[in-house]
């Protein structure tokens, strides 16, 4: 197979082929190594897998747009945690006393607004200073996490609203609420990147920023909007997750940025920008969750899971680099 053909295959369909291999492998291995009586591909297992994929998956859709644009956001985990704190704490504020369940949409709105504002701050700094997004969001990751700790110190922020719990645990057509949110966000992300002017501009900027500027694209405002989108999605992920759990610890969301970036890269989005697919990112999210669940199913510990995913990520990045080297006549492995 020619390198160009292989490259196209890997970018368009490899992640879904990998998922099929995972399902086959863990189903067979589970028959011999699993300590559970339940089959790996049990319907309840798969439905739970989709639900557990939602928190990372929702953020990963936003990260795909950011990375297509040629940027990256390392602050999503801290944004997730701070939005969760605002969500749960605002429902206990005395100003909303007596509203009953009427406080729920207000708390949701405040949490989502928090995510948008934090994302806007990142985008504004990147736009106006010209500092690389990696550095800017590394700083904001530390700053936003500091705000989480300043809010309640080392103590968790807790408030359990049973109406929210019932909503989060509800199922429609067999799928949990969180899964429906993931599907809706994926559909919206696909439309944005494939059917809108904003999406086309994202690819153009990521591929060649200078050419995009010369074509009249307002790069700064465009990037700021994308940072606001990922801030919103990080907050939405928190809203979906903590509506059910009702308690957030100051360290919650740590390493989320790494899991999200790993899923996006496994889905074929280039770290350098200009190429990527929302649907393939969803595949990357599901592949990671299958690995975590599958390795756990056959008795592997957390350290082994992280090691395997890390090695796979390195292999994917190596292949991506090799397949995109111009003038290379053969793939060196």
> What are 280-290's pLDDT values in tens digits?
999 999 999 98
Residue 2 pLDDT: 43
- What is the pLDDT at residue 114? 96
> CA of 82: how far to CAs of 26, 46, 149, 175, 238, in Å?
36, 30, 9, 28, 9
CA distance 280 to 277: 5
Point out the least confidently predicted range of 31-45, 51-65, 197-211.
31-45
Residue 311 CA neighbour count, 13 Å, CB half = 7
pLDDT of 105 higher than 80: yes
DSSP 3-state assignment of 255? coil
Pair 65, 269: CB distance under 8 Å: no
pLDDT at 306: 81
Question: DSSP letter at 249?
Answer: -
Q: 143: which 2 tokens?
A: 């700053």
User: What is the reported pLDDT for 127?
Assistant: 93
Q: Encode pLDDT of 240-268 as tens digits.
A: 998 888 888 888 888 889 889 989 988 88
DSSP state of 150: H
pLDDT band at residue 5 under the 50/70/90 scheme: very low
Per-residue model confidence (pLDDT) at position 268: 84
The predicted pLDDT at position 132 comes to 92
Question: Please, are residues 154 and 25 in contact by the beta-carbon 8 Å criterion?
Answer: no
User: Residue 93's pLDDT band (boundaries 50, 70, 90)?
Assistant: confident
pTM for this predicted structure: 0.89
| Structure tokens belonging to residue 55 | 């928190």
Mean pLDDT over each residue of the chain, to the nearest integer: 85
Distance CA 90, CA 107 (A): 6
More confident residue, 81 or 332: 81
Q: Which of 12-26, 131-145, 199-213 bottoms out in mean pLDDT, i.e. has the lowest?
A: 12-26
Q: What angle do CA 183, 312, 231 make, to 5 degrees?
A: 40
Q: What is the pLDDT of residue 56?
A: 94
CA atoms lying within 13 Å on the CB side of residue 92: 10
pLDDT of residue 317: 74
Say if CB 14 and CB 323 are below 8 A apart. Answer: no
pLDDT value of residue 83: 95
DSSP 101: G
């Amino acid at each position: 197979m020619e390198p160009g053909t292989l490259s196209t295959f890997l970018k368009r369909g490899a992640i879904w082929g990998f998922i099929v291999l995972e399902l086959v492998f863990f189903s067979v291995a589970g028959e011999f190594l699993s300590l559970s009586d339940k089959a790996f591909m049990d319907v309840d297992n798969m439905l739970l897998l989709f639900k557990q994929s939602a928190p990372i998956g929702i953020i990963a859709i936003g990260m795909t747009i950011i990375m297509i644009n040629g940027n990256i956001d390392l602050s999503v985990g801290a944004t997730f945690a701070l939005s969760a704190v605002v969500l749960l704490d605002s429902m206990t504020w005395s100003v909303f006393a007596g509203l009953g369940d009427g406080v729920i949409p207000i708390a949701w709105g405040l949490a989502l607004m928090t995510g948008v504002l934090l994302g806007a701050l990142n985008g504004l700094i990147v736009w106006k200073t010209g500092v690389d997004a990696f550095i800017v969001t590394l700083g904001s990751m530390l700053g936003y996490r500091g705000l989480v700790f300043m809010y309640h110190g080392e103590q968790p922020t807790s408030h359990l609203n049973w109406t929210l719990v019932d909503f989060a645990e509800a199922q429609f057509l067999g799928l949990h609420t969180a899964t429906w949110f993931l599907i809706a966000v994926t559909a919206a992300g696909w439309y944005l990147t494939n059917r809108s002017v904003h999406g086309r501009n994202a690819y153009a900027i990521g591929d060649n920023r200078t050419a995009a500027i010369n074509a009249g694209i307002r790069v700064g405002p465009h990037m700021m909007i994308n940072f606001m989108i990922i801030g919103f999605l990080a907050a939405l992920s928190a809203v979906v997750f903590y509506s059910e759990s009702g308690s957030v610890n100051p360290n919650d969301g740590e390493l989320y940025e790494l899991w999200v970036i790993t899923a996006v890269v496994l889905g074929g989005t280039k770290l350098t920008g200009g190429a990527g697919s929302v649907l393939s990112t969803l595949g990357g999210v599901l592949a990671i969750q299958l690995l975590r669940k599958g390795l756990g199913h056959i008795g592997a510990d957390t350290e082994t899971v992280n090691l395997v995913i890390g090695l796979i990520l390195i292999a994917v990045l190596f292949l991506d680099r090799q397949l995109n080297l111009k003038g290379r006549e053969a793939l060196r492995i």
